[in-house]
Amino acid sequence: MFRLLSKESNIFSIPVYIGFLLLSVVAFNVFSLNSLSLIPTLITVAGIALGYFGFNTIGLTYQTHLPLFLYTFFIFAFFPGGLDIGIAVALFTNSFLILIMTSMNDDFRRKSYLIVGAILAVNYIFLPATWPMAIFALFHILGTSNRIGLHIFRLIYGVILIALSYFPVMNFMGYHSWNDAYFPFTAFKFHREYDQLLYLLPVMLMMAYAIFDHFIHYNKKSPISKFKYSFMLLFFIAQLITVVLYMGNHYEYLLLLALPASIILSRFLRFTKREWQKELGLWIIIGCVIAFKIAGYQ
């Protein structure tokens, strides 16, 4: 199966994966379709679809089917049947940020930090737990910009524009008090029940080893590969902070990790030396994710 998924994908692959994912989600949630909220569902679908296109802009997956397959599988396993508007917006904005910040057009990327700031502000309004993405954006500017001060100013200016639009609207709608949830270091929900998450332990260990293996062979990587992998790793850490601090028993937060986890694991399996290890690693991931999904119905 690994050999089949290692083949190069084409322009028609993404619509096929999106269609397959939608059919799978509908089939497993057919009895709860009436309870789905239309707007969060549409935003979620748009965010997931943009995530598929993000694989090509990041350029770490050699345009094979494997990362697309893993991404589809993770989304299917972590999707609970209905999402809060906050998670839906976070999925959409994260995918949009990746498309912007990994654009091959340097001029467009450098001039888009105002848009990035605005997106981060919208993301924070709908889900305050996503504040680590602001730190990720700052690190990205510090590591890639030749005019750091200007680009940080554009980033902050984008945030201010959204804030100046948001507060008058909320005041007009009758919201005159500040919700404590909008302070970054409140409402922590540390997870204390690990029964269902234990099924994902082999995948977590594989992720940790994949990152460790990357840095062992770091000097053998090309400069562009080092940069892109560092970008994806920082993005993964930002999402991981949100998941660890705020997930609690809401496993839909794991959707935020689906994209970076797919890239990291697919690269790890690709560069594993022996064919049987690649095949075994793939089936371990599939088995663990299926077990996690089944455990959620118990």
Residue 274 has pLDDT above 80, yes or no: yes
Domain spans in the chain, listed from the N-terminal domain onward:
2-295
Q: How far, rounded to the nearest angstrom, does the alpha carbon of residue 208 sit from its chain's CA centroid?
A: 17
> Model pTM?
0.89
For residue 149, give Cα distances in angstroms to 140, 159, 271, 272: 13, 16, 39, 42
To the nearest whole percent, how much of the chain has pLDDT over 70? Answer: 88
pLDDT in tens, 54-88: 888 887 777 788 888 999 989 988 887 767 888 98
